[in-house]
Every structure is written in C-alpha cells, then in structure tokens.
Amino acid sequence: MPEKLYPKFKDEISKTPGGENIKRCYQCGTCNVSCPIREIDEKYNPRKIIRMALLGMKERVLSSDFIWLCTACYTCQERCPQDVRIPEMMNAIKNLAVREGYIHDSFLKQAELIESTGWAHTLSEFAKKKREQTGLPAIFKECPEIREIFKITNLNRITHEEGSD
Amino acid sequence: MRRALIKVKYAFFIGCATPVLTVNYELATRKVAETLGIELVDITDFACCGFPMKSVSQETAMLMAARTLSIAEKQGLNICTICPGCTSMLTEASKKIEEDQELREKINNKLQKIDRSYDGNIEVKHFIRILYDEVGIEKLQKKVKKSLEGLKIAPHYGCHYTKPSEIYACFDDPELPKSLDDLISFTGAKSVNYENKIQCCGGYVLGVDEGVSFSLASKKLDHVKASKADAIGLICPLCSVMYDRNQRVIERRLNKSYNLPVLFYPQILGLALGLDSSELGLDVNRVKPSSLLEKL
C-alpha cells in the first residue's frame, strides 16, 4: 500500500522558524554537491529530504535517522541560489520531529544534561576543585534558570518522558 | 611599567567544550589575552549558549542565548567567545533580537519569568576576530618577540567562525577566508594552502554516526598531510577534539598514519609573543608538538 501523504506538511515546515523558505527549492542539487556528509555517506541527501518534505512524506521524513546527520556546516546555505537556508530548515524539521515524539538518542541525552546541569559538557566536583587548584576560575555553577527555561518552552515533557531519567 | 597593547574588557563566554575537552585552548587564550592587555571577565552566572539545543527546540535555544546576552548587558560588557558554536548562536540571537521588535517583546515576556530582561545592546565576537579586526595585525606585529620563521601551518577555519556569513556582516569570505591565514603569516610562520580548506571537521555528528564523523575528519588530515604542513592551526574546541584528541583513534580505525600536531591559534600567537610552551598548554596537546618546537 502506498504511504499516506500529508500535503500540508510543507506548510507546517514553512511556519516553523528556519523553515520559511522550503517552498522556494527548485531541486538544483547545489546543497548535495556542497554537503561534506553526503560525500561520505549517500544516505544523507539534503535535496531528497526537501523533495520528500514537499511531497508530504511527513512520517518518513520525521522518523528518519538522516535528518539528524546534518553537520550544520552552512556550506549549502551559503551557496543555495534560492536561499532555502537548508541547515535552518533542517532544524525546523528536527524541531517538528521532536514534537511528534522522534528524537535522536544523542540529542535527547544532551538535552537532559543541559537541563540538569546548565551545560552540554560538565566536570565532576573533583575535576572542578583540581581546576581551581591550578589557578583557573570556578566554572559550571548549577543553573536552575535553565531548568526553568525548559519548562517555559514546554521542553521538559520530552526530557521527562517515561524511560528517560 | 610595560604598556598594555590595548585596553579592552569583555565578558568571557568560555562555553563548555573548551574547559572540559581542550583546556590547552583555555590556558593559551587567557595567557595571550593577559599579555596583550585584553581583559576577559569570567561570569559564573553564564550557562549553555543554546547552540546544542537548536536541533531540538529553537525556541529553547533562543531563550538560553537571550539569557546569556541579558547577563552581559547587566554587566555592561560585550561578549568575547572562543567556541565558534557559541559565537554563532549568541551572534544570531543578538542580531535577531536587536532587529526584530516583536521578537524582542516575545523573548522579554519569557525572560521575565526568570527575572531577566534584554534590550538588545550586546555585541558578540570570537577572540580571533577581536585580534583581527579590533586589535589589528599592525599592533600585534609590534609585540612579536620571536619570529616563527620556518614553521608551516595549515589554517583550519571550521564552520561557524565565518558562517552563516549574514550574521557576521561578512567580515571574512566564507568560501575563501583569509583572516586566520593573515594572523598566522605575520608571526613569520608560513600559512600553507591545502585541498578543500573550508571542509567541516564532522564533530557535530560524532554522537549520531561515529563512522561518518571520523571519515570526514580523516579527509582533512589527509589533505593537510599532503601539503607538508608542520601542524594544523585552528580556533574551535570541537575541531580539535576531532583532529587532535581523536587522531590516534582515526589512525587505528582507518589504517592511517598522521602524527600531525594540532595547535590552537592562541598557542601559535603565544609562541610568537615569546611565551613559554607550558604556559600555552602545549604539553596538554595529544599529538606532541615537540618536533615543531625544535624548529624554532
């Protein structure tokens, strides 16, 4: 059975910050030839992702692993003749995927660490002390305001879902 | 009394990757800034810039960035960053919030809930850009105590130092950048050209697909090795994680042999300023730069 198409998917993307220009794509492929990830692995193919999104293949796009493979180098954005802003558009698609319950595990873990500590990398208490002993300033103070920001932007529901810490 | 080169003061946004993964970058930056009279003020209230959250929620990322900007604004200090990821997130937020009144109001409504506000007055610059277009090469040149003649350095710009160019007012060309080349050349070292100079390190997808990430990093190491450079010179903690910290892993997995030192630009500049290699964290580098130091 052919998969269900969602013709309004492109509108959802264009209403999400970063995705505004997706409908301008005329499939020239400049993004593909500029993409360092695609050079290594064909399964990441920005032109194809855009085409699939425009055709309304919502579930396949949002549940796919390849949307998480954009390395955000912005080379395609600099070169796109239609100003599609592919890395920003990819963020819009990933943000929609997160809302639909799809998130790559590495990004979920990172979000959880940021929510609980305020930082994407942090040091143990021992390492913090050791740092200060060598004369470097104190860093990574606990930051409850970041937890608050997660609440304000309704993101805590993702990081506190069943099965995650 | 020794006269400071310039008297400038910034709120220092160090980010998270540098102190955890590349403390050599922190040590060298602090030492070089002190030597040049650039005051970097540490602010313990700072937290994540928001950049890693863009993929998950741009709204969360933007609010985290606005929080950082509001803290700097309260102190009356512009921000100096050293991680290009932080630089791009904070620059993008500062530009958007300054230009878009509606967004500014929306952001402030939310910031209010954590007792903060932001009027849109803060400028964000990477330390290297401060050296390049605020201090300037002419003034830096006067501070050189030891020429680095004989050294060949391959500059690696990474991605977010110049891109997206629209947020940086195109201060350097995203396709053919030159600021780092110029900053290397004035020390007496040669900045070496090599294939696909603006290629990304792949660090951003290390957690998604290690194989892809390492393959991409190995391309750069191949290209630089072919150029006969003594070292890579770079300005991003994540790029250093890929090329220095993971160089042995890449060699093993992809059956390569590089032994290519990877230096942060402040380490290179520090040598030219006559600073000691241990003060510049060069003993912390994974690939030991001893053969390079012997050349000096």
Q: What is the DSSP string of A1-37?
A: -PPP--TTHHHHHHTSTT-TTGGG-----HHHHH-HH
CB atoms B202 and A146 under 8 Å: no
Cβ burial of A124 (10 Å; 0-12, 13-18, 19+) is exposed
Interface check for A17 against chain B (CB to CB < 8 A): the answer is yes
Query: How large is the angle between the packed helices A86-99 and B58-75, nearest 10 degrees?
Result: 110
Three-class secondary structure of residue B195 per DSSP? coil
CB of A33 within 8 Å of any CB in chain B? no
* Cβ–Cβ below 8 Å for B63 and A140: no
Please check whether residue A163 touches B, CB under 8 A. Answer: no
Q: Is A165 inside a domain boundary? A: no
Q: In whole angstroms, how far apart are CA B159 and each of A154, B64, B184, B200, B236?
A: 30, 22, 18, 6, 9
Mean pLDDT by 10 residues, chain B (296 residues): 63 98 98 97 97 97 98 97 98 97 97 97 97 95 96 98 95 97 98 98 96 98 98 98 98 98 98 97 97 92
pLDDT at residue A2, rounded to an integer: 77
**B135/B32 Cα distance (integer angstroms):** 13
Residues A46, A116 within the same domain: no
* Closest CA of chain B from A19, distance in Å: 11
Please report the residues numbered 115 through 134 in chain A whose beta carbons come closer than 8 angstroms to any beta carbon of chain B. Answer: 118-123, 131
Choose the final residue of a domain: A53, A71, A99.
A99
Q: By the CB < 8 Å criterion, does A139 face chain B?
A: yes
Same structural domain for residues B99 and B158? no
Would you say how long chain B is, in residues?
A: 296
A68/B205 CB distance under 8 A: yes
**Residue B2, pLDDT score:** 47
Range of the domain at A138: 105-159
The CATH number linked to B228 is 3.40.50.11810
Q: How far is A126 from chain B (nearest CA, A)?
A: 13
In a domain, A3, yes or no: no
| pLDDT for position B6 | 54
Which residue in A65, A78, A111 is closest to B174 by CB distance? A78
Residues of A in contact with B204 (CB under 8 A): 71-73
pLDDT single digits (tens) B88-129 = 999 999 999 999 999 999 999 999 999 999 999 999 999 999
**A148 part of contact set with chain B, CB < 8 Å:** yes
The answer to whether residues B12 and B75 belong to one domain is yes
Number of inter-chain CB pairs under 8 A, A vs B: 154
- Dump pLDDT digits (tens) for B142-176: 999 999 999 999 999 999 999 999 999 989 999 99
Q: With an 8 Å Cβ cutoff, are B60 and A148 in contact?
A: no
Reported as a pLDDT band with limits 50, 70 and 90, residue A160 is confident
Predicted pLDDT at A75 = 98
Question: Domain check: are A147 and A66 in the same one?
Answer: no
A97 band by pLDDT with thresholds 50, 70 and 90: very high
Whether A40 and B216 have beta carbons less than 8 Å apart is answered as yes
Q: Do A17 and A47 have their domain in common?
A: yes
pLDDT band at A3 (very low <50, low <70, confident <90, very high): confident
Q: What is the dihedral of CA A117, A119, A121, A122, to 10 degrees?
A: -50
ipTM (interface pTM): 0.95
Same domain, B18 and B122: yes
CATH, residue B27:
1.20.1050.140
Q: What is the domain count for chain A? A: 2
The pLDDT of residue A101 is 94
B53, B91, B213: which to substitute to probe chain A, counting the most A Cβ within 10 Å?
B53
Nearest Cβ partner for A71 among B52, B164, B200:
B200
Order of all β-strands in the sheet with B152-156? B190-191, B152-156, B231-234, B262-264
Contact A37 B159 (CB under 8 A): no
Tell me which of A145, A150, A159 to substitute to probe the interface with B (most B C-beta atoms closer than 10 Å).
A145
Backbone angles phi, psi at A8, to 5 degrees: -85, 0
A98-132 pLDDT per residue, tens? 999 999 999 999 999 999 999 999 999 999 999 99
- Per the CB < 8 Å rule, is B64 touching A41? no
Q: What is the pLDDT of residue B7?
A: 60
pLDDT in tens, A33-92: 999 999 999 889 999 999 999 999 999 999 999 899 999 999 999 999 999 999 999 999
pLDDT of residue B104: 97
Does residue B186 sit in the same domain as residue B214? yes
Nearest CA in chain B to A94: B55
Q: Is the separation of the CB atoms in B289 and B161 below 8 Å? A: no
Structural domain range at position B219: 145-283
**Which residues on chain B are in Cβ contact (under 8 Å) with A116?**
none
Q: Which two tokens stand for residue A129?
A: 């002390």
